[in-house]
Amino acid sequence: MSPRTPEVTDTMKPKIDLSVYLITDPGLCAARGLVETALAAVRGGATIVQLRDKAAPRDRLISEGLRLKQALAGSGVLLIVNDDVQAAAAIGADGVHVGQSDAAAEAARAVLGEDAVIGLSIQTQAHAAVVDPAVVDYVGVGPVFATPTKPDHARPLGFDGLAAVCRAAAMPAVAIGGLEARHAAAVFAAGADGLAVVSAICAAPDPEAAAGAFALAARDAAAGQSDSVATEAGR
Ligand code: TZP
Ligand code: MG
C-alpha cells in the first residue's frame, strides 16, 4: 500500500495553504529584488507566492518565474503565475491565477493539467455562483478595501461583502485588497482561508518581519475560527 497523509486521497488534491499569499509587484520589489523579496517573505511565513508583472513581456515573465521557481525549490511554497497560462507552463509553475477577463479557467486547466493549481479572481456573489469547483481550486475575493496597487479595481467589498462572496463560493477563498496583518481575524471570520498581499509585504522595510506578522495573525485567526466552530458544534 502506498503511504498516505490525512490531507490527501486518490481523488483529492493536497490542501493548498492560502493563509499568507504573497503577490509580487515589480516596482515594489525593485529595490530589494524580486527573488530576495519573495525569499524574505517565505522565511517570514508566506505560504504561497504569485508572480504578478502585468507589464512584462512573456520572455521576461518566464525568466523571472524560472528564477523564482529555483529559489523556492524544496520550500514547499507554491509558485503561481498571474494571467499568463503559457508562461506558467514554460516555467513549470505550480499553477496560474486568472481574472474575469483573462484566459478561462477551463482553458488554463486544459493546458496545465489536473495537478495544476488554478485560481480565479472574483468580485461578486454572481461570479462565485458560476465558478466550477471541479476546475477552480481557489478564488481570490476582493478588493476588500480600495488600494492604489490595482488602480482599476472593482468596488471595495468590505468585510460584509467579503463574507457574502465567500458564502457563495464552493471552494477555498483568499481575500485581497488593502490588507494588513491586523485584518486577519476579520478575514477569517468572513470565511476566507487567507490574506493575499502585495504592498504590506513587498513595500515593507523588512518583508520577512512583515510576512511574519501576517503568518502569526493568520494562525491565530484560523485557530479562533476552529474554536468558534467547535463551540457552535458543542452547543
Ligand atoms: N486584485 C485586487 S486588489 C489587488 C489585486 C491584484 C492588489 C492588492 O494589493 P495590496 O497592495 O495588497 O492592496
Ligand atoms: Mg489577471
6 CA from centroid of ligand 2 (Å): 33
Ligand nearest to the CA of 22: 1
Give residue 103's pLDDT. Answer: 80
Separation CA 235–CA 233 (nearest Å) = 6
Separation CA 70–CA 92 (nearest Å) = 11
The residue to mutate among 80, 98, 147, 199, having the most atoms of ligand 1 within 8 angstroms of its beta carbon, is: 147
Residue 136 lies in a domain: yes
Residue 51 lies in a domain: yes
Residue 31 has pLDDT above 50, yes or no: yes
Give residue 13's pLDDT. Answer: 78
Residue 183 lies in a domain: yes
Give residue 206's pLDDT. Answer: 98
Q: What is the pLDDT of residues 114-153, one digit of tens each?
A: 999 999 999 999 999 999 999 999 999 999 999 999 999 9
What number does the ligand 1 atom closest to the CA of 147 have?
A: 13
Q: What is the pLDDT of residues 200-235, one digit of tens each?
A: 999 999 999 999 999 999 999 999 887 876 777 776
Give residue 5's pLDDT. Answer: 47
Full domain range(s) for residue 193: 20-233
Residue 180 has pLDDT above 80, yes or no: yes
Residue owning the nearest CA to atom 13 of ligand 1: 178
CATH assignment at residue 43: 3.20.20.70
**Ligand 1 pocket by Cβ (under 6 Å):** 142-143, 147, 149-150, 153, 176-179, 197-200
Which DSSP category does 15 fall into?
Answer: P
Mean of pLDDT values over 14-33:
96
Residue 156 has pLDDT above 90, yes or no: yes
The residue to mutate among 80, 198, 199, 214, having the most atoms of ligand 1 within 8 angstroms of its beta carbon, is: 198
% the chain with pLDDT above 90: 86
Radius of gyration of the chain (CA): 17
What number does the ligand 1 atom closest to the CA of 28 have?
A: 11
Give residue 205's pLDDT. Answer: 97
> Sign of torsion, CA 159 164 165 170?
positive
Mean of pLDDT values over 28-41:
97
Give residue 209's pLDDT. Answer: 98
Residue 114 lies in a domain: yes
Residue 168's pLDDT band (cuts 50, 70, 90): very high
Q: What is the pLDDT of residues 55-79, one digit of tens each?
A: 999 999 999 999 999 999 999 999 9
Distance of CA 148 to the CA centre of its chain: 19
Q: Which residues are catalytic?
A: 52, 121, 150
Residue 3 lies in a domain: no
Residue 9 lies in a domain: no
| Alpha helices (H) in the chain, listed in sequence order | 26-29, 34-44, 58-72, 85-91, 105-112, 125-129, 158-168, 184-189, 199-202, 207-234
Which DSSP category does 12 fall into?
Answer: B
206 CA from centroid of ligand 2 (Å): 27
Residue 145 lies in a domain: yes
Residue 45 lies in a domain: yes
When the pLDDT of each residue in the chain is averaged and rounded to a whole number, the result is: 93
Residue 11 has pLDDT above 80, yes or no: no
Report pTM.
0.93
Give residue 37's pLDDT. Answer: 98
Give the chain's domain count: 1
User: Is the distance from CB of 65 to CB of 79 less than 8 angstroms?
Assistant: yes
